[in-house]
Amino acid sequence: MSVTPRLNRLFAADGKCFEVALDHGVHNEPSLLSGMENLPKVVNTVVAAAPDAILLSVGQAHLLQDIRGKQKPSLTLRTDPTNLYGTPTPAHVFCQLIDDAVEQALALDAVSIVVNLLWSPDQPELYHQCLKNVSRAKARCARYGMPLMVEPLAMQFDKRLGYKQHPDLSRIISLVRQAVELGADVVKADPGENLREYHRVIEAASGKPVLPRGGSRVSDKEILSRTYALLQQGASGVVYGRNVFQHPQPEKMIRACKAIVHEGASVAEAMAILNES
């Protein structure tokens, strides 16, 4: 079956997508919950600002789908909780694909499922598990026309911070390429440290849309400048979580990012939206 109908609900008419990630609670790391303790309130706030999509877990997807009316963001579904983000790092690291992930996504009217492809030089078993998860998910997605969004993350261990983004852009590029080789319809990737070279990541995706993720909370100027640079490099949008729900005015941050993604606004124009009285 074709994935096109659901992809057309994920991406706007201009082929771009601004998605808000609210799936952090599924990973069981307390530090990720700051700013989203009251998830029903956060979901309502985000929905009111009208992003293109919201990433939620199976147990919380109803917070979006219970909202009446046709004009609401599309649902993308996180289907593989991991403890890689735990601090301190657990002795046994895993990434578990939930049972019947695609069937559950269909029942919830999701437009895509999201599956990790985690790589770290010291975690070969985790990487192997993720390869199996992506392969299993792809077979079911192909049967039902469910788009597969793969999140290829090259990581490395830091004794103080736990696992963090690997600084080597070539690692991101090769993992993005592998995600596409395995059948990803959409790629949710790290932005990397050298934004001027991000076109190489876009090239590695071989025509599949790339949505860089936001990561930890940074300043308004930094996240908006990054958004602008990534769109200029060929990204099809972005997926931001903490830079939205931890912001003191998440509605304005969504509007500012949407202006860059969909209207080609400059950083100065987006900052003006944040500074409106």
Beta bridge partners of residue 95, listed in sequence order: 82
Query: What pLDDT digit, counting tens, does each position of 178-205 carry?
Result: 999 999 999 999 998 899 999 999 999 9
120: Cα separation from own chain's centroid: 19
Confidence of residue 159 (pLDDT cuts 50, 70, 90): confident
CA distances from 28 to 82, 113, 176 (A): 8, 20, 26
CATH number of 4-274: 3.20.20.70
CA 263 to chain centre: 21
Q: What is the mean pLDDT of residues 238-250?
A: 98
pLDDT at residue 277 tops 90: no
Mean local confidence (pLDDT), 48-67: 98
Question: What confidence tens digit (pLDDT) does each residue in 220-237 have?
Answer: 999 999 999 999 999 999
- Measured CA to CA, the distance from residue 221 to residue 207 in angstroms comes to 29
Task: Delimit the domains of the chain by residue range.
Answer: 4-274
The tens digit of pLDDT for each residue in 83-105 reads 999 888 889 999 999 999 999 99
Note the pLDDT of residue 165. 84
How far is residue 209's CA from residue 11's CA, in Å, rounded to a whole number? 10
Question: Which pLDDT score, from 0 to 100, does residue 89 have?
Answer: 86
pTM for the full predicted model: 0.96
* Per-residue confidence (pLDDT) for residue 88, from 0 to 100: 87
Which band of pLDDT confidence, cut at 50, 70 and 90, is reported for residue 160?
confident
The encoded tokens of residue 152 equal 């290829």
% of the chain beyond a pLDDT of 70: 100
Q: Among positive and negative, which fits the CA dihedral 1, 188, 170, 87?
A: negative
105, 185, 199, 240, 265 from 172: Cα distances, Å? 28, 17, 12, 18, 27
Average model confidence (pLDDT) across the chain:
96
pLDDT at 127 over 90: yes
Give residue 259's pLDDT: 98
Q: Do residues 40 and 63 lie in contact, with contact meaning Cβ atoms separated by under 8 Å? A: yes
Residues 14-46: pLDDT tens digits? Answer: 999 999 999 999 999 999 999 999 999 999 999
pLDDT band at 161 (very low <50, low <70, confident <90, very high): confident
